[in-house]
Amino acid sequence: MKKGPTPLSLPTPDNDYAAPANMTLNKASWDAAMTSIGERLRAREALEASFQNLINLGVGQAIAAVQNEIAPTAAQAQAHAQQIEAFLDALLATSIPATLISVTPSMRFTSDAEIASKASASALADLVAAVALLAPRASPNFTGSPTAPTPAGGDNSAKLATTAFVKTAIAALVASAPGVLDTLDELAAAFGDDANFASTVTSALAARLRFDAAQALSAGEKTQARTNLGLGSLATQSAVNPADLPAGAWVHLATLTANNSAALQVTSSFTSAYDEYEIEFVGLKPSSASAVGLGLQLHSGGAYHSANYDAVYMEQNSIGYASGADTGQINLSAGARMSNAASDGLCGSLRLYNVNSATKHPRVSGVLSFHEAYPTQALIVTGGRWNGGFGVTGIQAYANSGNLADGAIHIRARKK
């Protein structure tokens, strides 16, 4: 019987992958060897990949376990170690408690090396107990009477505010306030415990009568203000109403000023509103350098009248006296006796009566004085009546020659 081909012998792990003695190196054996090697390599790669997956899975789980379990404990242990280290630094910088030092002088700690060699287990236990008594840095809860540096006044940092700092701040706030107003309760009481004190005061001030600025007031407010000030109805008028004046009160009606004027005239100042009128002459001078006379005429019925006067006058000077009568005017200078050289002009006053009477003629009387053209002072008493009619509305003063240079006439009136 004919035998078939002898199977190829290939390297195996059993002979450490050495080529068998009967292995013939040809294409078939080469291909078979390469195929065997490829299968083993692929199996190894698959095995390595499987192991790598297992390794990665195990490492990830281990890291997670460390982070979740070990890391917090390690952080806490590190924090404790830092606290112990700080405590030891403080002890070495100042003084070491007796519980950490041997009672024998030769056993005192003088260096870090001696501390490391001489510290006992009980001393370390005491140290741990002492550290445990220390307050934590975060939210410490102090007991007893802890102290701290007092910040400077006005400090606005995150430093601890000691009782001394607080007391200084309160004293600065109170400053020199009186004892009855140095607490918030006292201030609140002074404000009437009114939370809207500013608004209340503003409203109260708005209801007060102002004297520094204009103020719009209702009719009722004006009435109340006058009552509070003790004023009558006269205070509400923009012009004087004679009916509201008390008896005997003089009211200024007009001022006539001479400025080289032909005459000083007024035609409407005399009315039935008043009972009596006063005509005051202040420094009235003629413009003429020669002696002239000054006179006064009444206005009635729309005209000034130069007749129907029944007037008399009397002059007294340093030389003597003189008298006379006049029918054309009320004589103010006792004839032609004044010039522009008169030092003070004509001064004095006249009263005018029966101005509004329909049955009594108007009358004039008064006393005047002036410096005559001759070097002497003169006093004139003059008076009389106008019997040409009734009712007077005005007057005119004039010089019988030339103009009136300067001076003034004031007209006043009153009710009896």
376-395 per-position pLDDT tens digit: 788 899 989 999 999 999 99
pLDDT at 70: 61
How far apart are the C-alpha atoms of 376 and 380, rounded to whole Å?
13
Backbone angles phi, psi at 252, to 5 degrees: -80, 125
pLDDT at 89: 67
* Residue of 403, 379, 390 lying closest to 356 (CA atoms): 390
| DSSP track, 255-270 | EEE-SSBSEEEESSS-
Contact by Cβ (8 Å): 109, 85: no
pLDDT digits (tens, 9 = 90+) for 233-261: 666 666 666 666 777 788 899 999 999 99
pLDDT at 92: 57
pLDDT at 206: 83
How far apart are the C-alpha atoms of 219 and 223, rounded to whole Å?
6
pLDDT at 284: 93
Which fold is adopted by the domain 251-414? Jelly Rolls (2.60.120)
Task: Give the residue extent of every domain in the chain.
Answer: 98-133, 251-414
CA triplet 124, 125, 130: central angle to 5 degrees? 95
pLDDT digits (tens, 9 = 90+) for 307-327: 999 998 888 887 777 888 999
pLDDT at 262: 94
Name, of 16-25, 102-111, 147-156, 293-302, the range with top average pLDDT. Answer: 293-302
Beta-carbon count within 10 A of 144 CB: 5
- Band of pLDDT at residue 25, cut at 50, 70 and 90: low
Q: DSSP assignment, residue 189?
A: H
Name, of 78-87, 106-115, 182-191, 337-346, the range with top average pLDDT. Answer: 182-191
Q: Which of 61-75, 170-184, 194-208, 265-279 has the lowest mean pLDDT?
A: 61-75
Where is pLDDT greater, at 128 or 181? 181
pLDDT digits (tens, 9 = 90+) for 67-125: 676 666 666 767 767 777 776 666 555 555 555 544 444 444 455 555 555 555 566 67
- Output the average pLDDT for the chain: 80
- Band of pLDDT at residue 364, cut at 50, 70 and 90: very high
Give the bridge partners for 257, in sequence order: 408
If phi > 0 it is left, if psi is from -120 to 50 it is alpha, else beta; for residue 37 that is alpha
Distances in whole angstroms, Cα of residue 131 to Cα of each of 33, 90, 240: 74, 12, 99
